[in-house]
Structure 1
Amino acid sequence: MLSRHRRRVAARWIGAGLAAALATVSYAVPAQGAPADVADTPIPSLKETYADYFNVGNIYSGRQTYQEDTPNWAQVDRHYNVMTAENIMKPDQLLPNANINLDTGTWDFTFDEADYFVNESLARDIKVHGHVLVWHSQSPSKLFQGTRDQARANMERYIKEVLTHFKGRVVSWDVVNEAFRDGLDTFDPETQNWEDFLRGGPGDYARSGWYTAYTTDMDVAAGESPGDFIYDAFVFARKYGPETKLEYNDFNVFQSEGKGKAIIAMATELNERYAAEYPDDPRQLIETIGLQSHNYINQTPAFACSDLTRLPELVDEAAEEWQPGACSNHASVERSLQMIIEAGFTANVSELDLQVWEAWNAEPEGSDRVNYADLDDPTVADRFYKDGFTYWVGKIENRMELEAIQAQRYAEYFAVYKKYSQDMDRVTFWGLTDYLNWRATHNPQLFNMDWSEKLSADAVADPEGWLGVKKPIIDESRLTGAIAWAESLDLRGKNYKGATLGAVNSTRGKANAVLRSNRTQGEVNAATEALVAAITALQPK
């Protein structure tokens, strides 16, 4: 009997040899065929599927997103429990440049649409992630005109106004977005300074108003540097939003040996600086690193190779980068997650979409969506030989193979996310459908324009089923770490009071039993919390 995701392929395209093709590792499926009368079963709720792992989110693109009795709201309600505003909480939306009067010093904020989004989200039991406070793009230029001191004062005023306005309503914020330059493939923290690779710095083609402002009248002798704008932004965010989790967000963080390392070096250094300057705050300043993940299926493997991967049964070190099991230790999702987590940060996937066509070439069919087509549209076959689409020539035979490759990559990504889920808060998709995505003609999402499910939807809903994994993928790293912590203590009764010592020994035994059982992620999480709580409650004699 065909598996559920294979039935979905059969439901769309019936042709000679389909069943045989599906039974092989090949992606070959017929290019033409008559639709079969096979009912599709909708995928289960993603927020419920991943309830024990992480929150699942998407973007709010305007009031139509929450409009009752529409596919937009129906799918948001079904699948997502955290939402990010695509645009309306960006600085130029909350404070348009024209609303800053340099003569009088008055600022006129426009919170109406953002308030509607936030209040409606909370009323619908959806968390809100704030995006974004400090960014080189989509920000009023008057904020960073003038001297370093003026820009710093403007930054503090802006962050104070915004965080005070949304106090208690937003669980986390992207404090700084995309501060590093493009194309950072390698970085050595032992010999290089992360500040040399900031956007707008020497040798970078791009411009950052914040970087420029912070280099104006900069006193190097006094220890001032361009990267201080990142530190200041986070310090102000902690000051005016102490209840909020603070995140640094960037793209191409999967470049683990380059941008990934540079971001970790930056965040680590600024956290050490903050700990020295604010010793009474027990929290890290930068708590989370967000991996945007606007990735290409032909360039961005999920797995680390060799001895680094924690999913060796899924890795094929001989596979080309677009094939099942492809891996890389230089630039992979898994390796970047490992490095971020090992450095002591939470890792979030903040803007996920997996694009099927050739990088970069922006929108090969234009950005106005006039030439948009679902991947199962027959006209897509003509694209393989157009400039900007030719990567797949000679590799695959038809458009349905392309959809299957995308689904494979989505399944691999979510297998990795599950394996590292104890150190992740959320995975957020950047678009409700292919058509509603910012790069629509790259077909990067789980749903077609009419909200019908792509193969990728099945792959995300059941990555184990797609990948042929027999047991659920579980992240037990924190539980094994807690057990090791308990075993490193002197638990023979000489140093701790009996009742608290007994609680540790009891919960440690239960934790080991969970590891030996056919456990769920929820059971692992509960055992971890119980053991950590017991250890921290130990009372010395």
Structure 2
Amino acid sequence: MTTGWRGNSTGANTNSGVTYDKGVVFTASGDGVGAVFDVAKPTQLEKATVEMMVNVSSEFKASGANLQIYAQVKNTWAGEWDCWSGNGELTAGTDSKVTCTISETDNRFNQTANDVQVGIQAKGTPTGTVTIKSAKITLAPATSSSSSTATSSASTSSYAANVAHLKDLATFPIGVSVSNTDAPAYNILTNTAEQTVVEKHFNQMTAGNIMKVSYLHPNNTGNASDFTFTNADAFVDYAKSKDIKIHGHALIWHSSYQVPNFMKNWAGTSDEFLTMLDTHVNTIVTHYKAKGNVTSWDVVNEALTDGSPSTFRSTDSTFYMKSGNSAVYIERAFKAARLADANVDLYYNDYNIDQNNAKTTKLVEMVTDFQARSIPITGVGFQMHVFMDYPSIENIKAAMKKIADKGLKVKITELDVAINNPYSSGWSVSTATQYTSTSALAQKKRYCDIVAGYKEVVPEAQRGGITVWGTTDANTWLTSATSQYNGQALAWPLLFDNNYNDKPALRGFADGLTGTACTNL
């Protein structure tokens, strides 16, 4: 690999060249910087697989940057931009295989007029170096057809789920969590691959971050009446232009990094704090009522502890402490939201309540009390961050049924199914289950069981919908949020692989919606 490569000239930065030192090396000095080589005309690269062995420096890994294999038809510069290898797939100082399938609906890469430029570039805010140890292009067979064999989600999948539009298989919302300015590489407003998958399969979206407390109400000027709606408005407006509804997430959440400093440092009385929260909730809900496509809200998120017995969060919740060491802020938030919008659905949202445990018991106690006192709660959001082996489908269904039996709506708000459960006895990174045909098909059945179980125990009129927490395995939150994974991409939890291709999980979700038997075949 000492000839044929050169620095690319794409993106906001231009790479002047590459060096050769046991491989092709480029300094990742900015977004879009990389290295390319030419494939001479005529080309038949449609459906070809590009495979590169790369090795990133510790600086590159620490920067959080990603890698993108791409191809461009020279002179016309029509390209393949749908491939992605997230930072979580890369280990500093270790060879990592990244892949891309060249697949465009216009067959632009099967042509005779131009050479094709194939390369890889850094994306995000990179630093450090990237070494390309090898590059291989495998041409598609002369008569290729969709294969039913699942391959690693860390590469390109050849699996076809045969699902035209997931959203068309349900009478309730089918949603997905997406990013905006909080994750530029996956920004739904600019990433055409994200847009294609979302617009095809989903009729509801949730913002991963930008409609949370600190984004909408940061109080950067010191005035508690100041709100910042620009990014969230752009997201909501995009959704409206595509006839996609929005589930708002979340008006109140205790997590320290999402609580504005002015709330943490509140020096007024508890009554004044609660009045400020009334204004906070009312202002946001009123603003988005005017948009017309925000149909539901997570009013309060994760206010219960995981202990046995479960209680209301106290010392780790600014809202509890500043409300006079009281959970009264929860009902105040629901009341303020209802005053702002008489028709929007109002949810309490939490994790681990699908385990049918002490936290579920406390949840049922809380909503029973709210109903007795006419606190305007519409339903409960089950986050449903689950594993292949836990919790059991029996406990998941029993927990949802307890809420449905209260006459409330049930919404699965943040569904993902991780292949590896790091909390299992004896689990370790070194013995982790890999994403193979076997594990992919087991995940397919797990998705099917959950969706089918939801339909089984929740009456039709009480189905608030099911939202998947992310589009592709490349941008799942679990890689960085699960410390036991040690920075490794070991979850593979979503419906699409790193390159936006179908996984068997998508077929399993569809089977659950349509009443097809749940199998690992």
TM-score of the pair, normalised by structure 1: 0.60
Residue 80 (structure 1) shift:
0.5
- Residue in 2 that maps onto 1:122: 240
Q: Could you tell me which of 207, 211, 218 is aligned with 2:320?
A: 211
Taking the aligned partners of 1:180 and 1:48, their CA distance within structure 2 comes to 35
- Residue in 1 that maps onto 2:54: none
Contact 1:143 1:155 (C-alpha < 8 Å) held by counterparts: no
Taking the aligned partners of 1:209 and 1:344, their CA distance within structure 2 comes to 31
Larger relative contact order (CA 8 Å, sep ≥ 6): 2
- Is residue 273 of structure 2 the alignment partner of residue 151 of structure 1? yes
- Residue in 1 that maps onto 2:360: 260
Contact 2:214 2:260 (C-alpha < 8 Å) held by counterparts: yes
Taking the aligned partners of 1:252 and 1:402, their CA distance within structure 2 comes to 23
Contact 1:164 1:240 (C-alpha < 8 Å) held by counterparts: yes
- Is residue 289 of structure 2 the alignment partner of residue 167 of structure 1? yes
Distance 1:68 1:213, change over 3 A: closer
Aligned partner of residue 354 in structure 2, secondary structure? coil
Contact 2:147 2:159 (C-alpha < 8 Å) held by counterparts: no
Residue 337 (structure 1) shift:
1.2
- Is residue 260 of structure 2 the alignment partner of residue 140 of structure 1? yes
Residue 67 (structure 1) shift:
4.2
1:263-342 equivalence runs, <5 A: 263-274=363-374, 285-302=376-393, 304=394, 332-342=395-405
Amino acid at match of 1:47: K
Contact 2:150 2:504 (C-alpha < 8 Å) held by counterparts: no
Mark the runs of 5 or more structure 1 residues left unpaired by the alignment.
1-6, 14-30, 188-193, 202-206, 217-225, 275-283, 305-331, 362-383, 470-541
Q: Could you tell me which of 373, 391, 415 is aligned with 2:452?
A: 415
Residue 246 (structure 1) shift:
0.7
Residue 386 (structure 1) shift:
7.8
Residue 240 (structure 1) shift:
1.7
Contact 2:148 2:159 (C-alpha < 8 Å) held by counterparts: no
**1:73-95 residue CA offsets vs partner (Å, 9 max, x unmatched):** 11111110011111111010012
**1:122-149 residue CA offsets vs partner (Å, 9 max, x unmatched):** 1210111111111102121322523311
- Residue in 2 that maps onto 1:406: 443
Aligned partner of residue 215 in structure 1, secondary structure? coil
- Is residue 473 of structure 2 the alignment partner of residue 434 of structure 1? yes
Contact 1:8 1:455 (C-alpha < 8 Å) held by counterparts: no
Distance 1:386 1:8, change over 3 A: farther
**1:226-247 residue CA offsets vs partner (Å, 9 max, x unmatched):** 1211111111111122221111
Taking the aligned partners of 1:233 and 1:445, their CA distance within structure 2 comes to 32
Contact 1:358 1:388 (C-alpha < 8 Å) held by counterparts: no
Contact 1:9 1:455 (C-alpha < 8 Å) held by counterparts: no
Residue 109 (structure 1) shift:
1.4
- Is residue 203 of structure 2 the alignment partner of residue 62 of structure 1? no
Q: Could you tell me which of 435, 438, 446 is aligned with 2:495?
A: 446
Contact 1:143 1:154 (C-alpha < 8 Å) held by counterparts: no
Residue 467 (structure 1) shift:
2.0
Residue 351 (structure 1) shift:
0.5
Residue 177 (structure 1) shift:
0.4
Higher fraction of strand: 2
Contact 1:346 1:424 (C-alpha < 8 Å) held by counterparts: yes
Distance 1:421 1:434, change over 3 A: farther
Contact 2:297 2:347 (C-alpha < 8 Å) held by counterparts: yes
1:475-514 equivalence runs, <5 A: none
Distance 1:466 1:454, change over 3 A: farther
**1:281-340 residue CA offsets vs partner (Å, 9 max, x unmatched):** xxx6111100001111121222x2xxxxxxxxxxxxxxxxxxxxxxxxxxx210011111
Taking the aligned partners of 1:232 and 1:85, their CA distance within structure 2 comes to 24
Taking the aligned partners of 1:12 and 1:410, their CA distance within structure 2 comes to 16
Distance 1:89 1:10, change over 3 A: closer
- Is residue 177 of structure 2 the alignment partner of residue 40 of structure 1? no
Amino acid at match of 2:337: A
Contact 1:141 1:209 (C-alpha < 8 Å) held by counterparts: no
Contact 2:411 2:465 (C-alpha < 8 Å) held by counterparts: yes
1:18-37 equivalence runs, <5 A: none
- Is residue 509 of structure 2 the alignment partner of residue 460 of structure 1? yes
- Residue in 2 that maps onto 1:387: 428
**1:237-288 residue CA offsets vs partner (Å, 9 max, x unmatched):** 11122221111000011121321121111011022223xxxxxxxxx61111
Aligned partner of residue 149 in structure 2, secondary structure? helix
Residue 418 (structure 1) shift:
2.3
Taking the aligned partners of 2:469 and 2:415, their CA distance within structure 1 comes to 5
- Residue in 1 that maps onto 2:415: 352
Taking the aligned partners of 1:297 and 1:343, their CA distance within structure 2 comes to 29
**1:158-198 residue CA offsets vs partner (Å, 9 max, x unmatched):** 112212211243211111000001244xx5xxxxxx7xx11
Taking the aligned partners of 2:260 and 2:422, their CA distance within structure 1 comes to 30
Distance 1:404 1:262, change over 3 A: same
Q: Could you tell me which of 191, 194, 197 is aligned with 1:72?
A: 194
Contact 2:248 2:298 (C-alpha < 8 Å) held by counterparts: yes
1:106-117 equivalence runs, <5 A: 106-117=224-235
Amino acid at match of 2:454: Y
- Residue in 1 that maps onto 2:215: 93
Aligned partner of residue 449 in structure 1, secondary structure? coil
Distance 1:228 1:42, change over 3 A: same
- Residue in 2 that maps onto 1:281: none
The CA RMSD over aligned residues, in Å, is 2.9
Mark the runs of 5 or more structure 2 residues left unpaired by the alignment.
1-144, 480-488
Residue 39 (structure 1) shift:
8.0
Aligned partner of residue 289 in structure 2, secondary structure? coil
Residue 391 (structure 1) shift:
6.8
TM-score of the pair, normalised by structure 2: 0.62
Amino acid at match of 1:172: S
Distance 1:171 1:258, change over 3 A: same
Higher fraction of helix: 1
Amino acid at match of 2:319: W
Which stretch of structure 1 is more off in the superposition, 86-95 or 143-152? 143-152
Distance 1:439 1:72, change over 3 A: same
Residue 112 (structure 1) shift:
0.4
Aligned partner of residue 172 in structure 1, secondary structure? strand
Residue 468 (structure 1) shift:
5.8
Residue 108 (structure 1) shift:
2.5
- Residue in 2 that maps onto 1:321: none
Taking the aligned partners of 2:401 and 2:161, their CA distance within structure 1 comes to 35
Distance 1:8 1:339, change over 3 A: farther
Fraction of identical pairs, as percent: 29
- Residue in 1 that maps onto 2:149: 11
Number of aligned residue pairs = 349
